[in-house]
Chain A
Amino acid sequence: MTTSRDESHDPMPFEEWDRPREAWLLSGDCRRPGQRSLLLEMTTRAVFPTVLVFSLYLLLVGHYGPGGGFSAGLVAGLAFVLRYIAGGSDDLGAVVRVRAPAVIGTGLVIALLTALAPVAWGAPVLSTTKLAVALPLLGRAELQTSVFLDVGVYVLIIGVVLDLLRALGTGIERDMRDAGEDA
Chain B
Amino acid sequence: MTTILTLPVLLPMLGAAVTVLGSRWATLQRVVGVVVLSVVAVLAGVLLVVADERGPIVTELGGWPAPMGIALVADRLSALLLLVSTLVTLAVLVYAIDQRIADYGRGTASTTFHPMYLMLCAGVSLAYLTGDLFTLFVAFELMLTASYVLITRRTNASRIRAGMTYVTVSLLSSLLFLTAIALIYAATGTVNLADLAGRIGTLPSGLRSVLGLMLLVVFGIKAAIVPLHFWLPDSYPNAPGPVAALFAGLLTKVSFYALLRTQTLLFTRDEPWTLLLVLAVATMLVGALGGLVQNDLNRLLSFLLVSHIGFMLFGLAVFDAAGVAGAALYAAHHITVLATLFLVSGLITRRTGTVALDRMGGLARSAPWLAVLFAVPALTLAGMPPTAGFVAKLALLEAGAAAGVDTRIVAGVVILASLLTLYALVRVWVRVFWGKRRAPLPDEDDADEVVIGTARSSVPMYAATGGLVAVSLAIAVFAGPLTALTARAGADLVDPVSYRTAVLGARASR
Contacts and interface: CB of A to CB of B under 8 A. Distances in A.
Q: Touching in the complex, A and B, CB below 8 A?
A: yes
A104 B112 CA distance: 13
A169 interface: no
Interface stretch (B57-65, B148-156, B176-184): B57-65
B10 A123 contact: no
Contact of B62 (A101, A105, A125): A125
B133 to A, nearest CB: 19
A162 to B, nearest CB: 14
A109 interface: yes
Contacts of A106: 17, 21
Contacts of A127: 62-63
Interface in B139-164: none
Nearest to A123: B63
A125 to B, nearest CB: 4
B21 A105 contact: yes
Given A124-B63, A125-B3, A128-B62, A104 B13 contact: no
Given A101-B23, A109-B21, A116 B16 contact: no
A125 B62 CA distance: 6
Interface residues of A, number: 17
Contacts of B21: 102, 105-106, 109
A171 to B, nearest CB: 14
B14 interface: yes
Contacts of A124: 2-3, 59-63
Given A102-B20, A102-B21, A119-B3, A108 B13 contact: yes
Interface in B347-397: none
B20 A126 contact: no
A40 interface: no
A115 interface: yes
A124 B10 CA distance: 13
A126 B61 contact: yes
Contacts of B38: none
Residue of A104, A115, A123, A124 with highest tally of chain B CB at under 10 A: A124
B6 interface: yes
Given A115-B10, A123-B63, A128-B62, A109 B18 contact: yes
Given A101-B23, A102-B21, A125-B3, A109 B63 contact: no
A106 B18 CA distance: 9
Interface string A87-116: 000000000000001101110110010011
A123 B60 CA distance: 11
B301 to A, nearest CB: 34
A128 B10 CA distance: 17
A72 to B, nearest CB: 20
A127 B6 CA distance: 13
A112 B16 CA distance: 11
B61 A105 contact: no
A101 B2 CA distance: 32
B18 A125 contact: no
Contact of A116 (B2, B10, B59): B10
Nearest to B119: A108
Interface string B96-138: 0000000000000001000000000000000000000000000
Contacts of B62: 124-128
B402 to A, nearest CB: 43
A125 B6 contact: yes
Nearest to A109: B17
A112 B17 CA distance: 9
6 contacts: A101-B20, A105-B21, A108-B20, A115-B6, A123-B63, A125-B61
